[in-house]
Amino acid sequence: MLPQATKNEKTNRHNDLMEKKKKYVANGVSCLAPIFIEEAKGAILKDINGDSYIDFYGGIGVINAGHCPDSVVDAIKTRPRNFYTAVSWWACTPPM
């Protein structure tokens, strides 16, 4: 079992990431909460400190399926081999 990070180590990691966000992410990009999500599955989010949250917000792309459903992850892994686009000007087969 890995040792648990101390409160000070957690705070330092959070502060380091917040500084990088301020430096590299445009001010127009907002965050609802000052947490950094490291992993998500279904409706559960885990932050960099290992704390879990229920995602009541959803957001574009996860609202119907949740985070990382196996069928969607598998489709994402195979689709770029054939064709990839983010625009909706034409129909693609098979649809993503």
Instruction: Show pLDDT as tens, one digit a residue, over the chain (96 residues).
Output: 445 667 788 788 888 988 998 898 888 877 777 888 888 888 888 998 889 988 877 666 666 777 888 888 887 787 666 665 555 555 555 555
pLDDT at 2: 47
Cβ-contact 46, 52 below 8 angstroms: yes
Per DSSP, 61 falls in state T
Assign domain 7-65 to its CATH superfamily: Aspartate Aminotransferase, domain 1 (3.90.1150.10)
How far apart, in whole angstroms, are the C-alpha atoms of residue 6 and residue 93?
A: 50
- The whole-model pTM stands at 0.58
Neighbouring CB atoms inside 10 A of 67's CB total: 19
According to the model, what pLDDT value does residue 52 have? Answer: 92
